[in-house]
Each structure stands twice: as C-alpha cells, then as structure tokens.
Amino acid sequence: MANGHRSRQELAVAERARTRAIRGVEDPRFPGLFQTAGYARHLFTANAAFRNTPRDTEPAVRARMQPQEALYEAGRSFRFVVWEAAPYAQVCPPEVMAAQLDRLCGLIGMDTVELGIVPFAAPLRRPPHTGSGSTTSGS
C-alpha cells in the first residue's frame, strides 16, 4: 500500500482475468466486483487517510471498475457472502449507499453472480472479522 491503492487494484485485475470462479467473504463492506464508483471512492479515500498512503483515488477507482465487465461473461462464476452489517456501515453518504444498493439489486438474477447475506441473527461459530486474503479464487 506504500505506493497507493491503484497498484493493488491492477494486480487484482490481472488475477481476476485468469480466474473462472471467484469466491469471497466480506463482512463490513461489499465486494469490489459489486461496488459502484462512488462507494469505492469513499473506501479508498478513507483507507488512504487511515493508512497514510498516497491518495491515488481516481486511478484506483478506475482500476476497481474495470474487472466488473467479467460479471457479464458466460462461463464465469462470482460467489460472495456478505455480513448483514455491510449496508448499515456508514462508510459513505446515504445517496452513495442508495446507489450501491441499487447496483446490488441489478445483480439479482444474473447467472454468473451469487450473493448471500449472513443475517445478524445467524448463529456463528466465530465472530466476523476482516483481514487480508478474505477472497479466494480458483480456475
């Protein structure tokens, strides 16, 4: 992250291009493949401020949006589970979150996308947490 978010996003783009199936778990936010530019922009801005890293927000947002084209490719599979807290986490203004939720609604019914929500009331064997490596991929 010392060079900013853009380089990390470009690495992810290259990996996703080689991958036919992507599975992941996200607890406090929505997966990058499902994010709107506005939602991603707020996450990158907050992360850069918190980590004191370069603010290459706009190039990072463009890099994050690029691989979303793969959502529409036949033969691809994107399966994610998100904790119910994600839409409640106030990481962006309400109008940005509304657009993000609209984006998720637009993914409903796509044969390449599966999105599960872990409800607050679900019994858990261990509490949700974040950390690197929460996304797994397979070819």
Residue 73: how many other CB atoms lie within 10 Å: 9
As a whole number, the mean pLDDT across the chain is: 83
Find tokens 């690029």 and name the residue. Answer: 66
pTM, 2 dp: 0.74
Label residue 135 by pLDDT band (50, 70, 90).
Answer: very low
- Are the C-beta atoms of residues 37 and 65 closer than 8 Å to each other? yes
Bridge partners (DSSP) listed for residue 37: none
Label residue 105 by pLDDT band (50, 70, 90).
Answer: very high
pLDDT above 50 (res 132): no
Give the SS3 label for residue 117: strand
Return d(Cα 5, Cα 139) in angstroms, integer.
25
pLDDT above 60 (res 50): yes
Token pair belonging to 8:
């990390």
For residue 92, the 8-state DSSP code is S
* Range(s) of the domain holding residue 104: 5-138
**35 versus 16: which is more confidently predicted?**
35
Point out the least confidently predicted range of 8-17, 22-31, 40-49: 8-17
- The H-assigned helical ranges of 1-139 are 5-18, 37-51, 57-65, 94-107
**Res 80: pLDDT:** 92
Which of 71, 66, 79 is closest to 24 using CA atoms? 79
Please give the helix or strand (H or E) that residue 25 lies within, else none: strand 21-26
Which of 22, 26, 27, 3 is closest to 12 using CA atoms? 22
pLDDT above 50 (res 137): no
Number of structural domains, the chain?
1
Residue 70: how many other CB atoms lie within 10 Å: 17
